[in-house]
Amino acid sequence: MTQSPVWHPFTQHALEPPMKRVVETKGAYLVDEAGNRVLDAISSWWVITHGHRHPTIVEAIRQAAQSYDQIIFAEYTHAPAEELARGLIDLSPAGLDHVFYSDSGSTAVEVALKMALGFFHNTGKHRDRIVVMEHSYHGDTIGTMSVGERGVFNAAYEPLLFGVDTIPFPTPGEEQNTLDTFDASCRSGRIAALLIEPLVLGAGGMKMFGSALLSELKKIAEHHGVLLIADEVMTGWGRTGTLFACAQAGISPDILCTSKGLTGGSLPLAATLCTRQIFDAHLSTDRRNTFFHSSSYTANPIACAAAVANLKIWMEEPVQARIDRLAALQRQGLSRFAGDRRFRNIRQSGTIAALDLAVPSDGYLADIGPSLRAFFRERNLLIRPLGNIIYLMPPYCVTETEIDRLYDTIDEAASMCLEKAA
């Protein structure tokens, strides 16, 4: 086979084997060109919720394609976008009244940042700083890299990134330090917004914190007139056990970003929801107050139709029961490693389970990472450890037998890797 011209994401082609082609997806599985059924234990980078090619979503896509392709959204609207917006507002935390569409998690966050800064600019208040949490990840565009953790992911692009205020991750027992640092930043009078991944910091290492801290951060933000932006791109659509993670803290953010599971993982689409006050700050007879943002594929009708079908699944199928069942299976699987010295920091948030392999080298570039991935790949499991951090985030259709297989293989992988490292 000739060498492919394709440049894959997060891939060092000098070290990786040739990519196998996937020829079919169904349920919790990918089928490759050799006929191997690969259990998708990370929902193809956290996007697949109900399972690959859910029939309700597939049919909605087919029907929408009979009537639509892309429509300029600065000049017209269409039924799928209107229906989806109303459905999102109904399902989201109270107080979110407007929906702005884009096409990825990164762009949803970019939109949120611009909304927040535009709000204060248009209301005549000088607030130009964003607060973020240590270890955060919000995307790979320039703006979202700026508000993410600095390190190997973005070192080459440092000259392009803008500065932010950072609060420490709330390690157990140090939560008050996080709150005090945020309060101190707010006292500068320059903070426009706190941007946070609620309850779970995904790419930063599946780091988890409690809902009480999120609630307290919201109180501090409100006290200082600071907006709270919830990046629910990964945590939304049931991953942490509830439709949106914010619900567990009993808070309503001023801006909420959603993507990934918005269409059940079938097509790229994102939405940024905001309060009426933020929308109204851009509503003016002065065209200079317009919200100047778009992309060519804003509110693609076929993607919106897929998302409407996803909402239908949430309303008509026992999705919450499936999430609760999966959370219980994850809890049971993790319990076998309680007290196991091969692992550290065994943790869970809803359907997300994670544990750190106890090796000398840790972090995303931990030496053990490629070996772990190869081990799982040979056993037809799609698991992509974050260095020495092994996590599972399967679609909600996964079975108990499949979960058992995942934990059996993690057990085997730990023994193999630690033996090799010894």
At residue 363 the predicted structure's pLDDT band, cuts being 50, 70 and 90, is confident
Query: Averaged over 313-332, what is the pLDDT?
Result: 98
pLDDT of residue 90: 98
Query: What's the rounded mean pLDDT across residues 376-398?
Result: 97
Q: Are residues 392 and 41 in contact, defined by beta-carbon separation less than 8 angstroms?
A: yes
The shares of helix, strand and coil residues in the chain, as percent rounded to the nearest 5, are 40, 20, 45
DSSP states along 346-413: EEEETTEEEEEE--SS-STT-THHHHHHHHHHHTTEE---BTTEEEE---TT--HHHHHHHHHHHHHH
pLDDT band with cut points at 50, 70 and 90 for residue 421: low
Question: Three-state SS for 274?
Answer: strand
- Percent of the chain scoring above 70 in pLDDT: 99
Contact 374, 16 (CB under 8 A): no
Residue 76 φ/ψ, nearest 5 degrees: -140, 170
Task: Tell me the pLDDT tens digit for each residue of 238-249.
Answer: 999 999 999 999
| Of the candidates 348, 293, 299, the residue with the CA atom closest to the CA atom of residue 324 | 348
- The predicted pLDDT at position 417 comes to 80
The pLDDT of residue 408 is above 90: yes
Q: 151 - beta bridge partners?
A: none
pLDDT tens-digit map of 92-130: 999 999 999 999 999 999 999 999 999 999 999 999 999
The pLDDT score that the predictor gives to residue 416 is 86
Task: Determine the pLDDT at residue 8.
Answer: 96
**Interval 289-295 mean pLDDT:** 95
pLDDT in tens, 25-38: 999 999 999 999 99
What does 7-40 look like in DSSP terms, one character per residue?
Answer: --TT--TTTSPPPPPEEEEEBTEEEETT--EEEE
* pLDDT, average across residues 82-99: 98
The arithmetic mean of pLDDT across residues 274-302, rounded, is 97
Q: What integer is the mean pLDDT of 313-331?
A: 98
pLDDT for residue 355 = 98
Cα 180 to Cα 198: distance, rounded to the nearest angstrom: 18
For range 226-245, the mean pLDDT: 98
Cα separations in angstroms, 85 against 59, 78, 293, 309, 313? 20, 11, 18, 13, 16
For residue 85, the number of C-alpha atoms closer than 13 Å in the C-beta half-sphere is 18
CA distance 179 to 224: 13
pLDDT of residue 1: 58
DSSP letter for each residue of 89-128: HHHSPTTEEEEEEESSHHHHHHHHHHHHHHHHHHTT----
pLDDT for 366 equals 87
Domains and CATH numbers, the chain: 55-316 (3.40.640.10), 319-421 (3.90.1150.10)
pLDDT attached to residue 361: 82
CA proximity to 139, closest of 112, 168, 107, 96:
107
Closest residue by Cα to residue 197 from 143, 265, 252, 245: 245
CA distances from 89 to 99, 214, 283, 328 (A): 8, 21, 20, 29
| Percentage above 90 pLDDT, the chain | 95
Give the pLDDT of residue 414: 93
Token match 């017209």: residue? 76
Q: Which two tokens stand for residue 245?
A: 């993670």
| pLDDT bucket at 364, cuts 50 / 70 / 90 | confident
CA distances 205 to 136, 162, 178, 191, 387, Å, are 9, 23, 18, 27, 9
**Tokens standing for residue 53:** 């090619």
Q: Mind listing the pLDDT tens digit for each residue in 294-313? A: 999 999 999 999 999 999 99
Q: What is the mean pLDDT of the chain?
A: 96
63 Cβ partners below 8 Å, 6+ apart? Answer: 305
- Each residue's pLDDT tens digit, 129-147: 999 999 999 999 999 999 9
Cβ distance 295 to 344 under 8 Å? no
Distance, CA of 234 to CA of 213 (rounded, Å): 19
Nearest alpha-carbon partner for 225 in 250, 249, 197, 194? 194
Assign residue 35 a region (left: φ > 0; alpha: ψ between -120 and 50; beta: otherwise). left
Residues 6+ apart with CB under 8 A from 367: 359, 361
Which of 349, 321, 331 minimizes the C-alpha distance to 241?
349
Reply yes or no on whether the pLDDT at 400 is more than 70.
Answer: yes
pLDDT value, residue 406: 98
Burial code (b: 16+ CB inside 10 Å, e: under 16) for 170-193 equals beeeebeebbebbbebbeeeebbb
